[in-house]
């Protein structure tokens, strides 16, 4: 049994940890967290099962880290945008940003709102808080862009609807990337503008 361990000082540029996270994301997206075993993840990474525990406390904490990262990433991007342009002008670039993310990270999108229930309570809490902050920025941006008074709860529901629209990428089939991006942007703008 010839092993080529060590012949790969860091094959890609991702740390082992990130590599596992990425591999696990694809597996979770395809089969669901509960249906993927620790051995599955190991095998897909070219190592065997329990090796995972040298990088993560548990299967659940791996999931937790994955989900928290996504939420943090989206939130930080939204904050950056709002820092660069005024709140009232932030909506379009945020739509563009979110569409890019959804198109380029279909697996993460799927896992994110399918397997959150499988994460630890504390991680769920953290993810929900981050999401909530993210939604707040969108809501504030929509409100800031309108002169008339809007019902905040209605805007919130509308923002969630737009997320639903954009996050449909896992079902979008094999459309050319730029065609999909342009389609989703157009639809998202039209939908939120109709409120």
Burial environment of residue 84 by CB neighbours within 10 A (0 to 12, 13 to 18, 19 or more):
exposed
CB of 26 to DNA, least distance (A): 16
d(CA 175, CA 178): 8
Q: Residue 82, interface with its own copies (CB under 8 A)?
A: no
d(CA 126, CA 104): 24
Q: Where does this chain bind DNA (CB under 7 A)?
A: 5-6, 9, 16, 36-39, 42, 45, 47-51, 53-55, 58-60
Which of 58/76 has CB closer to DNA?
58
Q: Residue 143, interface with its own copies (CB under 8 A)?
A: no
Which of 143/180 has CB closer to its own copies?
180
From its own copies, DNA, none, which one binds at residue 55 (CB under 5 to 8 Å depending on kind)? DNA
Which of 63/95 has CB closer to DNA?
63
d(CA 76, CA 57): 26
Outline where 14-56 has alpha helix (H).
Answer: 16-31, 38-45
């Amino acid at each position: 049994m010839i092993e080529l361990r060590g012949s790969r000082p860091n094959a890609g540029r991702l740390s082992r940890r990130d590599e596992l996270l990425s591999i696990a994301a694809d597996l979770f997206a395809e089969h669901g967290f509960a249906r993927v075993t620790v051995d599955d993840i190991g095998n897909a990474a070219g190592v065997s099962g329990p090796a995972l525990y040298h990088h993560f406390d548990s299967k659940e904490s791996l999931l937790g880290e994955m989900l928290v990262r996504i939420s943090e990433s989206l939130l930080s991007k939204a904050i950056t945008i709002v820092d660069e342009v005024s709140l009232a002008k932030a909506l379009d670039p945020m739509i563009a940003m979110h569409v890019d993310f959804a198109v380029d990270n279909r697996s993460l999108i799927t896992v994110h709102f399918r397997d959150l229930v499988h994460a630890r309570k504390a991680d769920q809490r953290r993810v929900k808080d981050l999401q909530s902050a993210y939604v707040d920025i969108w809501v504030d941006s929509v409100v800031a862009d309108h002169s008339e008074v809007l019902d905040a709860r209605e805007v919130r529901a509308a923002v969630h609807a737009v997320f639903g629209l954009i996050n449909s990428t896992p079902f979008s089939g094999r459309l050319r990337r730029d065609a999909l991006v342009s389609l989703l942007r157009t639809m998202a703008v039209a939908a939120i503008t109709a409120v």
